Amino acid sequence: MKTLQERFETKYKEDPKTGCWLWMGAKTRGGYGHIRYKVNGQWSMRRAHRVAYELYKGELETGKVIMHKCDNPKCVNPDHLKQGTHHENSMDMVNKGRCGHSLSRAKITMDDARKIRHLYHNEKLKQREIAVMYNLKRNSISLIVNNERWKED
């Protein structure tokens, strides 16, 4: 069986113009790559840029997120990634004009709601991180993870 790194390295191609490593595997609606991996015999999903950072640069500090210097959600080049706080990431988005009114018009499916619950309860991602992934407001994520919206029948 291939290691996570071996699998990871088959799922991107380099853009010679930008130096970005463009994720060719599965992506979220927001364009961020994700990859399945096995821990203690259980399959899980992780964001590809987080995996890239940890494989090539080391462990992520507690309470930190991975920021893209290149502003390309498909990019997994560790040289284009850096650690930051949620606040730094939010300010970076605001300063670069990457947020706005379109966030409130995002649409999701029941499958997305299931994935959101999985990311929150099993992957232990924060609601703010998930909100960015799905282009939703944090309070929308809260309603989903608390089964107040997108309930299973």
pTM for the predicted model, two decimal places: 0.63
| Domain CATH code at residue 81 | 3.90.75.20
Q: What is the pLDDT of residue 105?
A: 44
CA 90 to chain centre: 14
Q: Are residues 25 and 95 in the same domain?
A: yes
Core vs surface per residue 22-57: b (16+ CB within 10 A) or e: bbeeeebeeebbbbeeeeeeeeebbbbbbbbbbeee
Same-domain status, 80 and 111: no
Q: What is the mean pLDDT of residues 132-143?
A: 88
Do 67 and 115 reside in the same domain of the chain? no
Using alpha carbons only, give the angle 51, 114, 91 rounded to the nearest 5 degrees. 50
Judge if 137 and 64 occupy the same domain: no
121 and 135 part of one domain? yes
CA proximity to 29, closest of 149, 136, 140, 143? 136
Q: Are residues 114 and 76 in the same domain?
A: no
Residue at token pair 């018009």: 105
Question: What is the pLDDT, as a whole number, of residue 107?
Answer: 67
Q: What is the mean pLDDT of residues 66-91?
A: 92
Q: Which residues share a beta bridge with 38?
A: 43
Give the pLDDT confidence score for residue 11 in this predicted structure. Answer: 96
Closest CA to 66 of 97, 95, 92: 92
Same domain, 62 and 130: no
Among 80, 99, 118, the domain-final residue is 99
Decide which of 99, 114, 134 is a domain's last residue: 99
Picking from 16, 32, 34, the residue whose alpha carbon sits closest to that of residue 72 is 32
Residues 88 and 143 in one domain: no
Q: Specify the range with the lowest mean pLDDT, choosing from 19-28, 52-61, 86-95, 142-151.
A: 86-95
Q: Which domain holds residue 46?
A: 1-99
pLDDT at 131: 87
Are residues 55 and 8 part of one domain? Answer: yes
What's the domain count of the chain?
Answer: 2
Checking if the pLDDT of 53 tops 90, the result is yes
pLDDT at 45: 87
The predicted model gives 46-71 an average pLDDT of: 94
